[in-house]
């Protein structure tokens, strides 16, 4: 348990940051789910549109420190390959 004032403040800051990061991760997952659903339906136009909308969200996750840049690069590569394969 935090005893010093500094430790108490850090605990408060960590909780606030946790909530922000949780919301960001949830938002990113929502965009990824939309891409997955469009791929599953076989609609190439919808899938490419959803992918274009998901890209900035993923990159924002990198800049905000929620995701690692290589993780996002891998996800984008795999998703774009799957969208391209629809046809």
Kindly report, residue by residue over 10-61, the tens digit of the pLDDT: 999 999 999 999 999 999 999 999 999 999 999 999 999 999 999 999 999 9
Sole residue written with tokens 């408060």: 12
* pLDDT at residue 1 in the model: 75
- Distances in Å between the Cα of 70 and the Cα atoms of 23, 29, 49, 59, 75 are 21, 17, 23, 11, 9
- Distances in Å between the Cα of 54 and the Cα atoms of 5, 13, 24, 33, 77 are 41, 29, 13, 10, 12
Backbone angles phi, psi at 86, to 5 degrees: -65, 135
How many Cα atoms are found within 13 Å in the side-chain-facing hemisphere of 21? 12
How many Cα atoms are found within 13 Å in the side-chain-facing hemisphere of 48? 6
Residue 87: pLDDT above 90?
no
């Amino acid at each position: 348990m935090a005893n010093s004032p500094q430790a108490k403040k850090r605990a408060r800051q960590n909780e606030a940051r946790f909530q922000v990061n949780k919301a960001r991760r949830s938002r990113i997952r929502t965009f990824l789910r939309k891409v997955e659903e469009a791929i599953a339906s076989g609609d190439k136009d919808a899938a490419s549109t959803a992918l274009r909308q998901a890209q900035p969200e993923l990159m924002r996750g990198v800049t905000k420190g929620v995701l690692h840049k290589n993780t996002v690069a891998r996800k984008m590569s795999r998703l774009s390959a799957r969208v391209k394969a629809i046809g």
